Every structure is written in C-alpha cells, then in structure tokens.
Structure 1
Amino acid sequence: MTRVALISGGTRGIGAAISKALKAAGYSVAANYAGNEQRALAFQEETGIPVFRWDVSSYEACVTGIGEVEAQIGPVEILVNNAGIVRDTMFHKMTPDDWNAVIATNLSGLFNMTHPVWPGMRERGFGRIVNISSINGQKGQMGQVNYSAAKAGDLGFTRSLALEGAAKNITVNAVCPGYTATEMVLAVPEKVMNERILPQIPVGRLGRPEEIARCVVFLVSDDAGFITGSTISANGGQYFT
C-alpha cells in the first residue's frame, strides 16, 4: 500500500518542491495551504496532488483538516511540517501581534499538525516526520527575533519528539535551508542579493527548492530508518553546526 504523505504549506516554494518530489518518489501526497486559493488550485491542476485548506496555527482546524485527508486518501504516515510565515522587523519595533503570529504558525503549528497524527503512527509502528526549520533558527538573524526563536524551537521539538518516537519506529528529523530561490528570496533587490547575500554563501549561489526536497525524500525513506533527531543543514556552507 502506498504511504500517505502530508505536507503543510505544500503548494508554493519549498513546500511545492517537496510535494512534487514525494509524488515522483511514489508516495500518495496531500498538500495543505492556508491562503492563496487560486495558486493552490493551479498547483493541484498542474500536479494532480490534492490540496486541502486550513490554518496550521489552529489546532481545531488541523484536527478537522487531517481528518479530511485521512478520509479521502488514507492514514498519514509521513508528515512534513513546512508551513511558515514571516513578520520581519527589528525587535524594538516588533508588536505582540508580530510575535504571536509567527510563533503560532512556525512553532505551535508543529504541535497542531503532529499531535493528531501521532497516535496513529504509534499504533501502526511506523512514522516519518520532517520539520523544515531554517539557518536562522541555528545562527539567529537581525530583524527576525520572532522567526529565529520559532525555528530554533522547531529543532528542540524535533530532538525531543525523536526520543519519544524511536521505540515505535517513528523518526523525527529537521532540515534547515539557507537562502533558497523561492519567490520571496528572488524578490530581494539585485544589489542586495549580489552585495549582501551571495557573498555570505561559500558555494556562491542560492539553493534550489528541489535540493531541499531531496533531503526530505531521503529522510522519509526506509533507507533513513536509523536517522532520527538529526538536522540536515542545506545552506551552501554558509553556517556550520
């Protein structure tokens, strides 16, 4: 039976690349999205991957949405927590709403998405969870206190849950992308890109979403069954841990 993979934020950017790569690897994929319905439906039309709309910052929405996925496709055996938002600003200008929105999606979203599928994974004796963190959760970044705190929290979540899942054949790992050629990064002015971003990256280029996706495909595979609680840093040599 084909394993079911659910990707949050799975219709755009890195998430879309992950969804496509998992489908190409033979998984039955469902992609969650929160906002841009037109883009999501276009993605579904292009790829044949069914899309499901809910906000990962709401536990109740996650329970309902995951229930719909499992009713239509089957029990979720692979979960990729990719959904994330930014509310970048320097800390002295940051509002409680800026903080709370990012924490709710980028950190609490992992709990909200993982908790409903965890009992089934334990019962079946199999699960693969991959959390998409960030280089800035490892090293920090000016103007991203909220984002970096959430993404650092994702790594603590990963390591602790990995210990709980190990005896049940559930692996929990993280991927920390560096600067990757998504719409958001490519919108950076050329001067800033050439003078401030690319010089920080030893390989001299942005990552490609497909390169991040290949990390995920490996981590959810049977070949990676002995790897849990680990972090893959896919950042072109910009930061070592």
Structure 2
Amino acid sequence: MTAPFDLSGRAALVTGAGNGIGAAVARAFARAGAAVLVTDLDKDAAAAVASEIVEAGGRAESAVLDVRDAEAAAAAAEQAADLAGGTLHVLVNNAGAIAPAMFPKMTAEQFRFVVDVHLGGTFTVSQAALPLLPDDGTGRIINVTSAAGLVGTIGQVNYSAAKSGVIGVTKSLAKELARRRITVNAVAPLAATTMTENIRSNEKLAELTLARIPLGRWADPDEIAGTFVFFASDAASYITGQVLAVDGGTVI
C-alpha cells in the first residue's frame, strides 16, 4: 500500500454536494485523484462546484438529483460510473433537509419529508448505485448521519429518526455487502453549514451547542472532508459498519 489515500482512477458520486460538507467532500475526492459527479437539487450550485474542481485541474461533472427519485438516482449513478469506464467506486449519501418543530407541533408532512430525504434518499441512491459498485475491494458506500441519530435532539424528532435510521441501514448493509467486498460506513459530522445556520444564528442555541462541544468551536466543512477520503481509500479497506463522529468531541 504505497499511496493509501490515492483515489486515482476511481469514480465518486456525492449527493447534496452543491455546498457545505458535500461540496468539501467533492473537492477533497478530486484532490485525491477521483473523478467526481457533483449532484444537488440546485443545478447552478452543483455546476459551480464541478467547475471549481475542473478549474483546479480535477475531473468532475454535475447533475441535478432529487435523492427521492429512483429514476434520477439511476441516471446519476450511470453518469458517475461513466467517469471511470462504467464502474462507480464511491457513493456518498450526504443530501439532507430539515424541518424543525417541537413534537406537539410537528406535522406528519414535516416528519415524512425529512425522513424521505435522509433515510429514503440513502435507500434510493444506494440501491441505484449498487449494481455499478465493484467487487474488487474498492467499492464504498459512505453515509452521513449525525449526533442527532446517536443521542437525539430537541425540536427535530424527524431528523433524529431519519439519522438513526441511516445508522441502521449502514450496519445492515455492511453485513450484507461484505460478501461483495463493499464496505459501508457512516460519518456523523458537526460543521458550520447551511443546515446548522438556524442554530448558529440563534444566540441562545449557539451558546448551548458550543457548550456541548469539548473543542469549543464549529468545524469548517473542509475539516470534515478528510474523513470521507479516508473511508473511500485503501487505508479503510478493513473497516465496515462503523459510525465515526467528527464533531469536536460532542459524542464521546
């Protein structure tokens, strides 16, 4: 293993990659040598990230993807695989959404929406990608969960339920796909992104959150991205079914 973090010759599909952690992961994969399909509901945001990668000397394309749409997921998986001769090596299920509300006021629509995007989207895109993942030990599925899925959170029962479900999918798929030498792991990050803006912009919530982070600060998305490169690389070839919290020590 002379270059364990080298992703040259591999293709990656990253969902929700128009900004935040997804964009940081797409850029990090490209720097490691992978060809990346940047997908997002926001066409312009995805295209901007892909253009940034290409301008920096990497390989990338973009596509619009609603992770709840099975046909769109299949098309994205094929497009990503075409970047490496028909094989998709790495799938990152990062796309997400929030609809916060205290439980008594949470609507069924809010609950279903968040669960459909996070948990349903992980199912839909993983199933679309699976036929294109290789059996040679380089196949990777990397899911994104959260501390909310590990310990719960106030005002986001829908989000906590969805992220807990993603952990269950990760562990079950890891066992099921081991026979094909495909590893499945999850990252539970905490970073300054648009999804955490509602907390960071609220003085009281921001103070309470920072008090629970031993390192005492929010991560930049680029600080999170290296964990995904690790899981995608040969350095993590014997790791599967794990949830790695990259959260400044919030969940210990």
TM, length-normalised to structure 2: 0.88
Please tell me whether residue 3 in structure 1 is matched to residue 10 in structure 2: yes
1:116 partnered with 2:128 = yes
Q: 1:19 matched to which residue of 2?
A: 26
Partner of 1:204: 216
CA-to-aligned-CA distance 1:44-68 (integer Å, 9 cap, x gap): 3222231110200122221133233
CA drift of 1:186 comes to: 4.5
In structure 1, what is the equivalent of residue 119 of structure 2?
107
Do structure 1's residue 37 and structure 2's residue 9 form an aligned pair?
no
Q: Does the CA-based 8 Å contact 1:202-1:238 persist in structure 2?
A: yes
Q: What is the rounded CA distance, in whole Å, between the counterparts of 1:196 and 1:212 in structure 2?
A: 22
Q: Which amino acid aligns with 1:70?
A: A
CA distance in 2, matches of 1:183, 1:111: 24
Residues 138 and 237 in structure 2, CA contact (< 8 A), matched pair in contact too = no
- In the TM superposition, 1:141-156 aligns within 5 A as 141-156=153-168
Q: Percent identity?
A: 39
1:106-129 CA-partner distances (Å, limit 9, x unpaired): 001111111122123255564111
In structure 2, the residue matched to 1:133 is: 145
AA partner of residue 37 (structure 1): K
Q: Is the 8 A contact 1:11 1:19 kept in 2?
A: no
Matches of 2:216 and 2:138, distance apart in 1: 39
The structure-2 alpha-carbon separation of the partners of 1:183 and 1:125, relative to structure 1 and needing over 3 Å to count, comes to closer
2-structure distance, mates of 1:120, 1:69: 9
Please name the residue that 2:193 is paired with: 182
**Secondary structure of 2:67's match?**
coil
Residue 213 of structure 1 corresponds to which residue in structure 2?
225
The SS at the match of 1:50 is: strand
Task: Return the offset for 1:25.
Answer: 0.5
Counterparts of 2:156 and 2:82 in 1: how far apart (Å)? 38
Report the counterpart of residue 168 of structure 1 in structure 2.
Answer: 180
Which of the residues 40, 53, 60 maps onto 1:47? 53
Tell me which residue corresponds to 1:236: 248
Return the offset for 1:11. 1.9
Secondary structure of 1:203's match? coil
The amino acid across from 2:44 in the alignment is Q
CA contact (8 A) 1:52 1:69 kept: no
Q: Is the CA contact (8 Å cut-off) linking 1:126 and 1:168 kept in structure 2?
A: no
Task: Determine the C-alpha separation between the residues in 1 that align with 2:205 and 2:137.
Answer: 46
Unaligned 5+ segments in structure 2 are 1-7, 55-59
- Alignment gaps of 5+ in structure 1: none
CA gap of 1:229–1:194, structure 2 versus 1, over 3 A, is closer
Give 3-state SS (helix, strand or coil) of 1:205's partner. Answer: coil
How far apart are the structure 2 equivalents of 1:53 and 1:194? 32
Aligned partners of 2:197, 2:65: CA distance in 1, in Å? 27
Question: How many residues in Structure 1 have an aligned counterpart in Structure 2?
Answer: 238
Alpha-carbon distance, 1:193 to partner: 5.6
Contact 1:80 1:129 in 2 (8 A): yes
Q: Specify the code of the residue in structure 2 equivalent to 1:44.
A: A
Deviation by residue 1:163-184 (Cα, 9 ceiling, x = unmatched):
1111221000000013x11134
What CA distance in whole angstroms lies between the structure 2 residues aligned with 1:93 and 1:221? 44
> What amino acid does structure 2 have at the position aligned with 1:46?
E
The CA distance in 2 between the partners of 1:176 and 1:160, in whole Å, is: 17
In structure 1, the residue corresponding to 2:142 is in which secondary structure? strand
1:69 aligned partner, one-letter code: A
Q: CA 1:184–1:112 in structure 2 vs 1: closer, same or farther (change >3 Å)? A: closer
